[in-house]
Structures are given as C-alpha cells and as structure tokens.
Amino acid sequence: MTAALSFIHRFEPATVPGLAPLLLLHGTGGDENDLLPLGRLVAPGAALLSPRGKVSEGGAPRFFRRLAEGVFDEEDVRRRADELAEFIREARAAYDLAAPIAVGFSNGANIAAALMYRQPDALAGAVLLRAMVPLPEAPARDLASRPVLILSGSMDPIVPEENAARLATVLGQAGADVAHRVLPTGHGLSQADVNLSKQWLDKASAPAARG
C-alpha cells in the first residue's frame, strides 16, 4: 500500500491506534529499509514512514550533500530540508497521518535537526542519534516545547562531543524540550540507544499530541 510520492519510501500502517507515526531517516549509505526494524523496536504498533535520501555520494544515499566529512553544503541542507518537509505533507495526506516524530541516525539525524531549524511544524518531535549542528544560523521559529532526544557517543569519531552539546543548547534556546544523553560508545548504535529511545518515545508519542 505504498503510494507514489516525491521520495522513494516504505510505509507501514499503525497497528495500535493513537501512537505518533515515526519518520525514519537513515544514515549515509542506507536506504528506506534500514531503520524499519529499529522503528518496530522503539515504537511497537506505530505507523512507520521511511524515505530514501535523494542525494547520491558515489552511490551512497544521503539526505543532503556534504563537502567533506562533517562539512555540509549548507544551501543544499536548507533546500533538502524544505523538500523533505513537503514529502511529509504529501505522506500525511496520502496515509492520513498525524505529524510524525523523526527518528534519525547520523546523516538522517542531521536532516531531522535541519527540519527542526527550518520546518518545525513538519515534526511532532525528534530522536536524534549521533546528530551534529546542521546549519550555522539559529532555528527560524520558536520550537514550542517540541520534545527532542539527542543520543551522542563519547567516543564518536565523526561527531565531536562539543558539537552535539551545542546542538542541544541551540534547540533548547529555541524552545524545544531537549533531553541529551552521552553514551559510552562510538558512532554506531548500541542497545542503550534502543532502550533509551523506546523509553522516551513511550512518553512522547502517546497519545499522538500534534495533529
């Protein structure tokens, strides 16, 4: 039952009513299939919407262009965040969904953060796994207590601890309700990421608060 929309994607309908849908955003080199198992673990029964990033880096799908590792093409970040927000609007209409909570990993976490900066109405909240500051400017709008969980790794070779802490500060100053945990791990996901995300989503997603 996947509709033809502006992003290649997978959609799994909810089996439990009232839970916020999840928008699953994969890391570099992933695709629309990658995070479905994680989504099922952290929000059993929630609708899952999982697009594939449109940018190809030597064949590896991403959600925006980068100039080097950790150095983003900022104009592309802005354009791609707006494009993804439009996809979310399309998908909400096609599948009759409430505003989703993003669950993004690495590059997917960074585009989710960029959505918060530019298109906060697109999301009801976000779980940002190994995220960085996506843009130099402050978020454009008040984030109106949107819940955001940031999980970082103290040994992450890609995301400096200071950068993740800055993201938490910037989102908090813009009005988001931010929880930031630094785990004793690297860039990859651990069981602690799954457990903490599930606990946080149990509170944040039921009942689906923002329509």
Q: How far is the CB of 72 from ligand MLT (least distance, A)?
A: 7
Q: Which of residues 169-208 bind ligand MLT (CB under 6 A)?
A: none
Write each residue from 157 to 176 as x if it is in contact with ligand MLT (CB under 6 A), else as -, in one continuous string: -x------------------
Q: How far is the CB of 34 from ligand MLT (least distance, A)?
A: 13
Which of residues 21 and 153 has its CB atom nearest to ligand MLT in the complex?
A: 153
Q: How far is CA 30 from CA 110, 128, 149, 206, in A?
A: 14, 16, 22, 28
Query: Which one of 105-113, 117-125, 172-180, 198-206 is the stretch in contact with ligand MLT (CB under 6 A)?
Result: 105-113
In whole angstroms, give the CA distance from residue 64 to residue 72.
8
To the query of whether residue 6 is one of the catalytic residues in this protein, the response is: no
Q: How far is the CB of 44 from ligand MLT (least distance, A)?
A: 28
Q: How far is the CB of 65 from ligand MLT (least distance, A)?
A: 9
If binding is defined by CB under 6 A, does position 28 make contact with ligand MLT?
Answer: yes
SS (H, E, C) the chain: CCCCCCCCEEEECCCCCCCCCEEEECCCCCCCCCCHHHHHHHCCCCCEEEECCCEEECCEEECCCEEECCEECHHHHHHHHHHHHHHHHHHHHHHCCCCCEEEEECHHHHHHHHHHHHCHHHCCEEEEECCCCCCCCCCCCCCCCCEEEEEEECCCCCCCHHHHHHHHHHHHHCCCEEEEEEECCCCCCCHHHHHHHHHHHHHHCCCCCCC
Say which of 50, 156, 180, 193 is annotated catalytic.
Answer: 156
In whole angstroms, give the CA distance from residue 173 to residue 157.
26
To the query of whether residue 56 is one of the catalytic residues in this protein, the response is: no
Q: Which of residues 37-96 bind ligand MLT (CB under 6 A)?
A: 66, 69-70
To the query of whether residue 187 is one of the catalytic residues in this protein, the response is: yes
Q: How far is the CB of 144 from ligand MLT (least distance, A)?
A: 26
Which of residues 158 and 194 has its CB atom nearest to ligand MLT in the complex?
A: 158
Say which of 9, 26, 50, 106 is annotated catalytic.
Answer: 106
Which of residues 28 and 152 has its CB atom nearest to ligand MLT in the complex?
A: 28
Maximum Cα interatomic distance, the chain, rounded to a whole number of Å: 43
Q: Please report, as ranges, the residues that interact with ligand MLT according to CB under 6 A.
A: 27-28, 66, 69-70, 106-107, 110, 158
Catalytic residues: 106, 156, 187
